[in-house]
A and B are shown apart, each in its own frame.
Chain A
Amino acid sequence: MKNTFIAQNPSVLWFLAALGLFTFGVTMLSEVTGVGVISTSFVKTLGKTLCLCLIAIAMDVVWGYCGILSLGHFAFFGIGGYAVGMWLMYARTEGIVLESLTSQTIPPTPQEITDAIGNQIFGVVGSAEFPMIWAFADSLFLQLLMVVLVPGLLALVFGWLAFRSRVTGVYLSILTQAMTLALSLYLFQNDSGLRGNNGLSGLQNIPGFKATPQATISIIFFIASAAALALGYVFFAWVVSGKMGSVVKGIRDNEARVRFLGYHVESYKLFIFTITAIVSGIAGALYYPQAGIINPGEIAPIASIYLAVWVAIGGRGRLYGAVIGAAFVSLMSSWFTGGGAPSIPLGFYTVEWTDWWLVLLGFSFVTVTLFFPKGIGGLFDYLVRKPS
């Protein structure tokens, strides 16, 4: 089966080879090997970009292949980030608290330790109590389980309600956007239990690896992100190949016809929606330790809209297109908004890219949608002639 699947999808091998080469190259040029051509902060940027590529292929599967324009997948990404962030923050604070308490003559009781950790984490929102949702924060294993379970269950319940009522098209997009907005607004509240608009911070410090330099940690996360992207790519390529891919693309092109063929369309949509949500959660769990901080602003609807823009610019309905779109647009975005792009003095007005980048992005999006519906990935069609 593996043989036929790879044989029928040669682009998977090409992708894996390119990704492997890229990962190897970046690792060799990073500060870890002493070469240091690529700075630690840029390694983090590249690692984060790989996570964005992973959620982009999930978006491509749900939108480009199954035709569900979800504007909520960044919510799942954020949930994954929060889930892993809770453990990172708890375990690191626990370490700090224990260290400061060792100097005391009387050994602290477990209650005192818990109170001190709570004070440290929630002092910023005027509380010291651990909310219910932090019940498993002391266990890395359980929090990693949450990375998968919470987005999965949320997608399952939300999708079941939406698809069962046959909400489709733009109405479904609005519904997913409302879900994201609601989640983001809820998390902004101080009593949401996740530190309100402060979010979770210090996530780049991995508990137990205090002595390890950030250069090493960043390269480990970079490689882990590359591995996750590779696995996600192969998994989704397998899902959308073969008969499942046929049915899913059929649903995108003519839902009613698939229904009359005897397929229970809702189950298929729910399956695709849920697995892509889970992968988005995993991508988020890898992203935020590299970003160092997560706050509710990350989940705002605009993030999910960007996601759709990346996939559209990269090329819907082909996984490498989504990867190219996410990498290209997000790196361009940080270059333009990070002051990398030179301003253009027009005499009467100076074009500052920090302000004009969004205009450029919007213009590119409209241009691609109108004139190059296949996106950047479509360029490969000119290079590779399909065997007929």
Chain B
Amino acid sequence: MHNKSVAELSKELDSGKISSVELAQQFLDRLKQEDGKYNSFITISDEQALAEAKSADEMRAAGKATVWTGVPFAHKDIFCTNGVRTSCGSKMLENFVPPYDATVTEKFKAAGAVCLGKTNMDEFAMGSSNESSFFGAVTNPWGLSNGEKRVPGGSSGGSAAAVAARLVPAATGTDTGGSIRQPAALCGITGLKPTYGRVSRYGMIAFASSLDQGGPMARSAEDAALMMNVMAGFDPKDSTCIDRDVPDYTATLNEPLKGLRIGLPKEYFSDQLSPAMEAQVRNAVREYEKLGATVKDVSLPNAKLAIAAYYVIAPAEASANLSRFDGVRYGYRCADPKDLMDMYTRTRAEGFGNEVKRRILVGSYALSAGYFDAYYLKAQKVRRLIQQDFINAFKDVDVLMSPVTPSPAFIQGEKTTDPVSMYLEDVFTIAINLAGIPAMSVPAGFVDGLPVGLQIIGDYFSEARLLNAAHQFQQVTDWHQREPQ
């Protein structure tokens, strides 16, 4: 059962060959047996999962089943789940049990899906290797057979590793600078960062509010489309969510790609990209040409400024968002505070890890009196230049294609001592968040036995087209079906 897609599991349940409770139990047993190798889950919520599975069986018996009813999946531990610990990978929230559900959580519950637990992640979604988690690093299922412990990417590294290892068919993720696409690429799965405002951020613990966006992580574009059908849509509880019709993302998966105009941004095929990676990406583009697409070179002249703009905007917004963790209403509080200032400063020094503290300090510095114009305002202006590059590119092409990462999954510990070298991991993904447009990572080959991702970038609200392009590619390739040994 663990190798079946969401659609296939749904059919098994519909046929009555297996009940939701039996299916949940099988997945839970396997998860507990296997996850010691990966550490991809922070919390396995057996009790709630079995209760949800029981409700799912009742829903099906009452003729109210959706595609998702009884299908197991997992949430990144950033989505609040009523009654189930939500840690965001931090000691600060080690014992935080939310009294409410995120909108995304609520939507999966309403569809009857069965959440098996909460996946590991970089602390407060800050990282590209899942090594900043208070609950320990996640190990990429790829490379393990050679005795290598490689990173799964981050910040949604637990979700990516769990899907790659067939512990769950699908999991939610969030993407602020590449946190869905980069781990999807390094683990050989399919991930989509939707347009900013397409998926509600309510109850999704905030990192950088003008960039954060939740999205699907699954083995195929078809399953990602099924997830989008649940996740996308307007939510009055999120003031930045967009009120716009949601298409059926599965309806257009089979449209032919003849005439699709692909642009290759020359800045994303630079020296930073290893020749072996470039060869895989170009091979994938050739597959698209065989499917009838046309290809031309395009330029994003301001893309080189994206990392610099991001490392002002994201830390600045994080420093404001994370000011709520003060030891008063919930979360960690230091022992025996001698006064209020001592309580605040020790609670935050003890509760946050090093990367989170670095970013809060950079952000506070960038926002402090005398520096605001030079840093935050300047970065917001550069952000518009970056957006304008994409708007111009989409006048001539339908989608852009590029690598997701400069190289495949690296060995754990390789980049932890140098924050800036870790930041450069997101060199091809960050501009997309700044512009607010959607982009996918699709398995597109291997280098040294490790998965390579193809990034497909689209204009605002073009998720259906991206999923269509990814699905058609997956009809003529089998990279997405390869399984780590």
A binds B: no
| B interface residues, Cβ below 8 angstroms from A | none
